[in-house]
């Protein structure tokens, strides 16, 4: 068993967020990760725990296609080959959801008690809280991997619900080769660019990545008149 497998096996989620990831807006999850302190790994005496607090913000799920992922920069050759094969299997315009996250670690504290006791105390205090909290018992050296495991599982649990919401709303339907949700997002970017809230270069990048610049060229050029 390698180190990452050990971390994943050792990570336990004691309290899940009250709500699944939202389909139409940002979702914030306040996390509390409890681990043994680093000095335990150095075999010093003590019966303390480290608690790391923070907030993970999940951006609104973005509708994409395998073809879009292939065109988007930032992937290596192996990943592009995988996406190319995925495109062949699913069909060029088959929609999928892309999730992005931002982690903000807010503070850390050391408290008395072993991780099992401390995590159970936090869970008991938060179990009736209406806000989105999660309590995780993780591994000190790679606590962020413990957090990523939670994020992965939470996303997987939410994905079907998000996909069904978008499907029922007709936002996954094809509109001249592009999902309706994408066209709504692009129109929103155009409106924001007209107000000066986003840069024209950001709009241009989005249009290029979808291969839609020619279609929206007149609207784009109108920003400079």
Q: What is the pLDDT of residues 134-171, one digit of tens each?
A: 999 999 888 999 999 999 999 999 999 999 999 999 99
The DSSP output letter for 60 is: P
The answer to whether residues 120 and 164 belong to one domain is: yes
Residue 39 pLDDT level (bands cut at 50, 70, 90): low
* Region for residue 90 given its phi and psi (left: phi exceeds 0; alpha: psi -120 to 50; beta: otherwise): alpha
The answer to whether residues 110 and 163 belong to one domain is: yes
What number is the average pLDDT over the span 33-38? 90
The answer to whether residues 106 and 151 belong to one domain is: yes
The answer to whether residues 115 and 203 belong to one domain is: no
**Least confident span in 89-93, 128-132, 134-138:** 89-93
Pairing of β 27-35 and β 48-58: antiparallel
Of 99, 92, 122, which Cα lies nearest the Cα of 31? 122
Residue 93 burial class via C-beta count within 10 angstroms: exposed 0-12, middle 13-18, buried 19 and up: middle
**How many angstroms separate the CA atoms of 22 and 36, rounded?**
33
Domain end, chosen from 122, 142, 168, is at 168
For residue 42, what are the domain limits?
3-61+99-168
Select the more confidently predicted residue: 77 or 17.
17
Of 51, 35, 62, 53, which Cα lies nearest the Cα of 155? 62
What's the confidence (pLDDT) of residue 80?
62
Residue 123 has pLDDT above 70, yes or no: yes
* Total domain count, the chain: 2
The answer to whether residues 110 and 138 belong to one domain is: yes
What number is the average pLDDT over the span 10-22? 95
Domain end, chosen from 168, 194, 216, is at 168
pTM of the model: 0.80
**How many angstroms separate the CA atoms of 212 and 220, rounded?**
11
The answer to whether residues 119 and 24 belong to one domain is: yes
**How many angstroms separate the CA atoms of 121 and 110, rounded?**
14
Compute how many other C-beta atoms are within 10 angstroms of the C-beta atom of residue 61: 25
Backbone phi and psi for residue 41, each to the nearest 5 degrees, phi listed first: -70, -20
Residue 2 has pLDDT above 60, yes or no: yes
Residue 60 has pLDDT above 90, yes or no: yes
Structure tokens of 223?
A: 């920003």
Select the more confidently predicted residue: 85 or 101.
101
The answer to whether residues 120 and 218 belong to one domain is: no
**How many angstroms separate the CA atoms of 31 and 34, rounded?**
10
Asked whether the beta carbons of 37 and 49 are under 8 A apart, the reply is yes
Structure tokens of 177?
A: 């080769």
Mean of per-residue pLDDT scores for the chain: 87
What's the confidence (pLDDT) of residue 44?
47
Of 102, 87, 62, which Cα lies nearest the Cα of 189? 62
Residue 88 has pLDDT above 90, yes or no: no
- Burial track 120-131 (b if 16+ CB lie within 10 A, e otherwise): bebbeebeeeee
Structure tokens of 13?
A: 């989620």
Select the more confidently predicted residue: 95 or 112.
112
């Amino acid at each position: 068993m390698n180190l990452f497998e050990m971390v994943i096996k050792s990570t336990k989620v004691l309290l899940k967020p009250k709500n699944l990831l939202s389909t139409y807006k940002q979702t914030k999850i306040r996390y509390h990760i409890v681990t043994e302190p680093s000095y335990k790994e150095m075999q010093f005496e003590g019966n303390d725990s480290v608690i790391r607090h923070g907030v993970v913000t999940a951006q609104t799920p973005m509708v994409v296609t395998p073809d879009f992922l292939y065109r988007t920069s930032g992937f290596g050759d192996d990943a592009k080959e995988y996406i190319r094969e995925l495109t062949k299997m699913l069909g060029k315009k088959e929609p999928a959801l892309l999730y992005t996250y931002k982690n903000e670690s807010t503070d850390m504290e050391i408290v008395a008690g072993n991780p099992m006791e401390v995590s159970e105390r936090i869970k008991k205090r938060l179990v009736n809280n209406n806000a989105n909290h999660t309590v995780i018992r993780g591994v000190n050296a790679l606590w962020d991997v413990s957090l990523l495991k939670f994020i992965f599982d939470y996303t997987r649990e939410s994905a079907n619900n998000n996909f069904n919401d978008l499907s029922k709303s007709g936002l996954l339907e094809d509109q001249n080769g592009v999902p309706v949700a994408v066209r709504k997002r692009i129109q929103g970017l155009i409106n924001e660019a007209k107000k000066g809230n986003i840069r024209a270069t950001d709009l241009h990048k989005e249009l290029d990545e979808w291969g839609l610049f020619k279609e929206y060229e007149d609207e784009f050029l109108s920003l400079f008149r």
